[in-house]
Protein backbone atom coordinates (compact mmCIF):
# COMPACT_ATOMS: atom_id res chain seq x y z
CA UNK A 1 0.00 0.00 0.00
CA UNK A 2 2.93 2.33 0.75
CA UNK A 3 4.13 1.98 -2.85
CA UNK A 4 0.63 2.70 -4.17
CA UNK A 5 0.42 5.82 -1.99
CA UNK A 6 3.81 6.94 -3.30
CA UNK A 7 2.66 6.35 -6.89
CA UNK A 8 -0.49 8.41 -6.27
CA UNK A 9 1.54 11.21 -4.69
CA UNK A 10 3.91 11.16 -7.66
CA UNK A 11 0.97 11.50 -10.06
CA UNK A 12 -0.44 14.42 -8.03
CA UNK A 13 3.00 16.08 -7.83
CA UNK A 14 3.40 15.74 -11.59
CA UNK A 15 -0.06 17.25 -12.11
CA UNK A 16 0.76 20.20 -9.85
CA UNK A 17 4.17 20.77 -11.47
CA UNK A 18 2.75 20.71 -15.02
CA UNK A 19 -0.17 22.94 -14.01
CA UNK A 20 2.13 25.44 -12.27
CA UNK A 21 4.34 25.62 -15.35
CA UNK A 22 1.44 25.98 -17.72
CA UNK A 23 -0.44 28.61 -15.70
CA UNK A 24 2.45 30.86 -14.63
CA UNK A 25 2.25 29.58 -11.05
CA UNK A 26 -1.56 29.15 -11.00
CA UNK A 27 -2.08 32.77 -12.15
CA UNK A 28 -3.09 32.47 -15.81
CA UNK A 29 -5.60 29.77 -16.71
CA UNK A 30 -6.00 30.79 -20.34
CA UNK A 31 -3.29 31.26 -22.97
CA UNK A 32 -4.38 34.86 -23.41
CA UNK A 33 -3.92 35.64 -19.69
CA UNK A 34 -0.49 34.00 -19.85
CA UNK A 35 0.58 36.03 -22.87
CA UNK A 36 -0.57 39.25 -21.27
CA UNK A 37 1.34 38.48 -18.07
CA UNK A 38 4.42 37.66 -20.17
CA UNK A 39 4.06 40.94 -22.06
CA UNK A 40 3.74 43.03 -18.90
CA UNK A 41 6.75 41.21 -17.39
CA UNK A 42 8.74 42.01 -20.54
CA UNK A 43 9.13 38.38 -21.55
CA UNK A 44 7.34 38.39 -24.90
CA UNK A 45 9.55 39.11 -27.88
CA UNK A 46 8.22 39.29 -31.43
CA UNK A 47 10.66 37.49 -33.75
CA UNK A 48 12.03 39.33 -36.80
CA UNK A 49 9.73 38.84 -39.78
CA UNK A 50 10.10 39.64 -43.46
CA UNK A 51 6.74 40.92 -44.62
CA UNK A 52 5.34 41.73 -48.03
CA UNK A 53 2.55 44.24 -48.60
CA UNK A 54 -0.07 44.88 -51.26
CA UNK A 55 2.59 46.29 -53.60
CA UNK A 56 4.81 43.25 -52.91
CA UNK A 57 7.31 45.55 -51.23
CA UNK A 58 9.35 43.70 -48.66
CA UNK A 59 10.08 44.97 -45.19
CA UNK A 60 11.78 43.48 -42.17
CA UNK A 61 10.18 44.20 -38.82
CA UNK A 62 11.07 43.54 -35.20
CA UNK A 63 14.74 42.86 -35.87
CA UNK A 64 15.78 45.61 -33.46
CA UNK A 65 18.17 47.05 -36.06
CA UNK A 66 16.64 50.52 -36.18
CA UNK A 67 16.34 52.29 -32.84
CA UNK A 68 14.16 54.89 -34.53
CA UNK A 69 11.71 52.23 -35.74
CA UNK A 70 8.11 53.16 -34.95
CA UNK A 71 6.07 51.76 -32.11
CA UNK A 72 3.72 49.21 -33.68
CA UNK A 73 0.15 48.18 -32.96
CA UNK A 74 0.11 44.70 -34.43
CA UNK A 75 -2.80 42.38 -35.11
CA UNK A 76 -3.27 39.17 -37.05
CA UNK A 77 -5.82 38.79 -39.82
CA UNK A 78 -6.68 36.75 -42.90
CA UNK A 79 -8.44 38.36 -45.78
CA UNK A 80 -11.07 35.66 -46.41
CA UNK A 81 -12.28 36.00 -42.84
CA UNK A 82 -15.89 37.13 -42.68
CA UNK A 83 -16.28 37.28 -38.91
CA UNK A 84 -13.76 38.65 -36.45
CA UNK A 85 -11.43 40.28 -39.04
CA UNK A 86 -14.24 42.44 -40.41
CA UNK A 87 -14.75 43.89 -36.93
CA UNK A 88 -10.97 44.09 -36.57
CA UNK A 89 -10.82 45.95 -39.89
CA UNK A 90 -13.39 48.46 -38.68
CA UNK A 91 -11.53 48.90 -35.39
CA UNK A 92 -8.23 49.33 -37.22
CA UNK A 93 -9.75 52.00 -39.47
CA UNK A 94 -11.00 53.91 -36.42
CA UNK A 95 -7.54 53.51 -34.90
CA UNK A 96 -5.94 54.79 -38.10
CA UNK A 97 -8.11 57.92 -38.07
CA UNK A 98 -7.40 58.52 -34.37
CA UNK A 99 -3.70 58.10 -35.08
CA UNK A 100 -3.93 60.58 -37.95
CA UNK A 101 -5.65 63.05 -35.64
CA UNK A 102 -2.95 62.53 -32.99
CA UNK A 103 -0.36 63.39 -35.62
CA UNK A 104 2.35 61.13 -34.24
CA UNK A 105 4.93 59.99 -36.76
CA UNK A 106 6.20 57.32 -34.37
CA UNK A 107 3.24 54.94 -34.21
CA UNK A 108 2.15 52.58 -36.98
CA UNK A 109 -0.58 49.99 -37.41
CA UNK A 110 0.45 46.63 -38.79
CA UNK A 111 -1.84 43.77 -39.81
CA UNK A 112 -0.11 40.48 -40.58
CA UNK A 113 -1.89 37.64 -42.36
CA UNK A 114 -2.03 34.22 -40.72
CA UNK A 115 -2.85 32.75 -44.15
CA UNK A 116 0.07 33.80 -46.39
CA UNK A 117 -0.62 30.90 -48.79
CA UNK A 118 -3.88 32.53 -49.83
CA UNK A 119 -3.17 36.17 -49.05
CA UNK A 120 -1.20 37.28 -52.09
CA UNK A 121 -0.63 40.91 -53.05
CA UNK A 122 -4.06 41.19 -54.69
CA UNK A 123 -5.88 39.80 -51.65
CA UNK A 124 -3.96 42.13 -49.32
CA UNK A 125 -4.72 45.10 -51.59
CA UNK A 126 -8.44 44.24 -51.64
CA UNK A 127 -8.49 43.95 -47.85
CA UNK A 128 -6.67 47.28 -47.48
CA UNK A 129 -9.12 48.93 -49.90
CA UNK A 130 -12.16 47.45 -48.17
CA UNK A 131 -11.07 48.87 -44.85
CA UNK A 132 -9.71 52.13 -46.31
CA UNK A 133 -6.19 51.51 -45.01
CA UNK A 134 -3.81 54.41 -45.58
CA UNK A 135 -0.42 52.78 -46.30
CA UNK A 136 1.37 55.65 -44.57
CA UNK A 137 -0.30 54.69 -41.28
CA UNK A 138 -1.55 51.13 -41.60
CA UNK A 139 0.29 48.35 -43.44
CA UNK A 140 -1.67 45.25 -44.45
CA UNK A 141 0.93 42.52 -44.93
CA UNK A 142 1.73 38.81 -45.01
CA UNK A 143 4.91 36.98 -44.02
CA UNK A 144 7.19 36.23 -47.00
CA UNK A 145 7.66 32.70 -45.74
CA UNK A 146 4.89 30.55 -44.27
CA UNK A 147 7.34 28.90 -41.86
CA UNK A 148 8.43 32.28 -40.54
CA UNK A 149 4.79 33.28 -40.05
CA UNK A 150 4.04 30.09 -38.13
CA UNK A 151 7.14 30.61 -35.99
CA UNK A 152 6.04 34.13 -35.11
CA UNK A 153 2.57 32.97 -34.10
CA UNK A 154 4.02 30.22 -31.96
CA UNK A 155 6.55 32.54 -30.33
CA UNK A 156 3.83 35.08 -29.52
CA UNK A 157 1.39 32.39 -28.36
CA UNK A 158 -1.21 33.46 -30.93
CA UNK A 159 -3.56 30.54 -31.43
CA UNK A 160 -4.84 30.18 -34.99
CA UNK A 161 -6.41 26.90 -35.96
CA UNK A 162 -7.77 25.98 -39.38
CA UNK A 163 -11.48 25.31 -38.81
CA UNK A 164 -11.69 22.63 -41.48
CA UNK A 165 -13.96 24.88 -43.59
CA UNK A 166 -11.16 26.86 -45.22
CA UNK A 167 -11.10 29.47 -42.46
CA UNK A 168 -9.34 29.89 -39.15
CA UNK A 169 -10.37 30.26 -35.54
CA UNK A 170 -7.92 32.91 -34.45
CA UNK A 171 -6.89 35.53 -31.95
CA UNK A 172 -7.87 39.13 -32.69
CA UNK A 173 -5.83 40.93 -30.01
CA UNK A 174 -3.85 44.13 -30.54
CA UNK A 175 -0.18 43.88 -29.61
CA UNK A 176 1.74 46.98 -28.59
CA UNK A 177 5.28 46.34 -29.84
CA UNK A 178 8.22 48.68 -29.17
CA UNK A 179 10.99 49.55 -31.63
CA UNK A 180 13.06 46.53 -30.59
CA UNK A 181 10.24 44.03 -31.18
CA UNK A 182 9.34 43.54 -27.54
CA UNK A 183 5.61 43.18 -26.90
CA UNK A 184 4.79 45.61 -24.09
CA UNK A 185 1.03 45.12 -23.72
CA UNK A 186 -1.78 43.14 -25.33
CA UNK A 187 -5.27 44.60 -25.76
CA UNK A 188 -8.64 43.22 -26.88
CA UNK A 189 -9.52 44.39 -30.38
CA UNK A 190 -12.26 46.57 -28.92
CA UNK A 191 -9.74 48.39 -26.70
CA UNK A 192 -8.38 50.46 -29.61
CA UNK A 193 -8.44 53.83 -27.80
CA UNK A 194 -6.53 52.44 -24.78
CA UNK A 195 -4.05 50.70 -27.08
CA UNK A 196 -3.47 53.91 -29.04
CA UNK A 197 -3.02 55.96 -25.87
CA UNK A 198 -0.45 53.45 -24.61
CA UNK A 199 1.31 53.42 -28.00
CA UNK A 200 1.52 57.23 -28.15
CA UNK A 201 2.84 57.29 -24.59
CA UNK A 202 5.47 54.66 -25.40
CA UNK A 203 6.49 56.53 -28.58
CA UNK A 204 6.78 59.75 -26.60
CA UNK A 205 8.86 58.09 -23.89
CA UNK A 206 11.20 56.36 -26.33
CA UNK A 207 11.64 59.20 -28.83
CA UNK A 208 15.29 60.12 -29.24
Residues lying near another protein in the complex (CB under 8 A) are found at 1, 3-5, 7-8, 11-12, 14-15, 18-19, 22-23, 28-31, 33-34, 154, 157, 159, 161-165, 168-169
Q: In angstroms, give the least distance from the CB of 34 to another protein.
A: 6
Q: Is 48 helix (H, G, I), strand (E, B) or coil?
A: coil
Q: CB under 8 Å to 24, separation ≥6 — which residues?
A: 33, 34, 37, 38
- Picking from 2, 196, 165, 175, the residue whose alpha carbon sits closest to that of residue 77 is 175
Q: How far is the CB of 9 from another protein (least distance, A)?
A: 9
Nearer to another protein among residue 29 and residue 207 (C-beta) = 29
Q: Phi and psi dihedrals of 75, rounded to 5? A: -135, 165
Q: At its nearest, how many Å lie between another protein and the CB of residue 167?
A: 9
CB nearer to another protein: give 30 or 103: 30
Q: If you ran DSSP here, which 8-state letter would residue 152 be given?
A: H
Query: CB-wise, 106 or 151, nearer to another protein?
Result: 151
Q: Which is nearer to another protein, 144 or 151 (CB)?
A: 151
Minimum CB–partner distance for residue 33 and another protein (Å)? 8
Amino acid sequence: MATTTATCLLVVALLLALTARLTHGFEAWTTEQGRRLDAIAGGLQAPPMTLRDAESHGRIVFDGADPAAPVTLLNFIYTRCVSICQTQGGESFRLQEALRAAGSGRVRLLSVSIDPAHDDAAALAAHARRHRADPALWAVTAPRSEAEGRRALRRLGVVSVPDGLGGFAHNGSLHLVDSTGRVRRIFDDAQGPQALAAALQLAEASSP
